[in-house]
Structure 1
Amino acid sequence: MKKPYLKKILVLIMMLISFNSFACDCDCNGDCSFSVISNRNELVALVKVIEYSDFLDYKIDGYDKKMPFSMTVEIIKKHKGTESKKQIKIWGDNGILCRPYISNFEVGKYYLISPLQIKNSSDEGNKGDYDFFACWTDYLTVDFENGIAHGEYTKKKNKISLKEFENGIKK
């Protein structure tokens, strides 16, 4: 008599788990902290978000405003890379990509970034623009006034001064 009851509970639990699954169900193999990603990726820069540039035509659950799909950032200081533009565009998630939502970034705020350059134009971004990968720590929020970046800099360190970062980055 108890077995059918347990079976129903297990089925219900499995259904609930599957409803909450994220479209980008990824794991990071190894160390994907900012220190590792920024040493591996081509571009590393301190940026300021200038504007949200493109918007999705549909709503994203849990976000009640028009969802930004890309942002334009001003490069305040390039630490690594050959990018020559003063402003670049970074594309985010549309609900099915493995990217963070652009709404995670605030206009007027500063970030330490290490994005990937988009190789081919598509509906998800233009060739030469950039994007982030949701499974890595490829950006940190920056308290510009105090010169401190916050986020997973290493697996054991969740903040770093910009000076300390500059001294440690491999160019």
Structure 2
Amino acid sequence: MKKSFKRKIVTLAIMLMAFNSFACECYCEGDCSFRAVSNNNKFVALVKVIEYSDFLDYDIDDYDQEMPFSMTVEIIKKYKGDEVKNRIKIWGDNGILCRPYIANFEIGKYYLISPRQIGSDSENGNKEDYDFFACWTDYLTVDFDNGIVYGEYTKLKSEISLEEFENEFEK
């Protein structure tokens, strides 16, 4: 009887750990750097965050403000894609979507992005808006004043000038 009870407790504990870790376990096969992701995605642009657009109606652990769920960005320069709007909306994580939290993006800051377009309306985003995937490097931070891009551009390169990126991307 003791062994059966212990076995049930161990099984329950394993199940609870598995459930808690389900939210987003990232596995990237191959090269998931920005250069590889942007080569495979349909849209690449330099953007500036204009505003947080939608907010979650519940708290996220370790974040003491209202959590933004989407952001509106202004397209400064488009490198690839058919997008014709000057501003687009990008949706983030609600705690279980395997997306980065929008709070990671600062209003007024610049980013190189290569997001996925959302295919249908849902409570997690609208058709023809965009989202990121937390397991890939599909956005990089840009110091616009100094023309430097930061983040995993390639597996071996975590910093590149914006000019060098543009020259490489046009090839």
Residue 15 of structure 1 and its aligned partner are, at CA, apart by 9.2
Partner of 2:34: 34
Letter in 1 for 2:75: I
Alpha-carbon distance in 1 for matches of 2:143, 2:22:
30
My pick for the range that moved more, 41-50 or 160-169, is: 160-169
Are the structure 2 counterparts of residues 62 and 161 from structure 1 closer, same or farther at C-alpha, using a change threshold of 3 Å? same
Alpha-carbon distance in 1 for matches of 2:133, 2:66:
22
Q: Deviations over 1:23-71 (max 9, x none)?
A: 1012001000000001110110000000000000000011110000000
Q: Superposed, which structure 2 residues align to 1:102-113 within 5 Å?
A: 102-113=102-113
Contact 1:92/1:99 (CA < 8 Å) preserved in 2?
Answer: yes
Determine whether 1:69 maps to 2:69.
yes
Aligned pairs, number: 163
Structure 1 segments (4+ residues) deviating >4 Å? 13-20
Structure 2, unaligned stretches of length 5 or more?
A: 1-5
Letter in 2 for 1:137: T
Alpha-carbon distance in 1 for matches of 2:20, 2:123:
26
Determine whether 1:81 maps to 2:81.
yes
Structure 1, unaligned stretches of length 5 or more?
A: 1-6
Residue 21 of structure 1 and its aligned partner are, at CA, apart by 3.1
Residue 22 of structure 1 and its aligned partner are, at CA, apart by 6.0
Alpha-carbon distance in 1 for matches of 2:147, 2:117:
26
TM-score normalised by the chain length of structure 2: 0.88
Q: CA RMSD in A?
A: 2.1
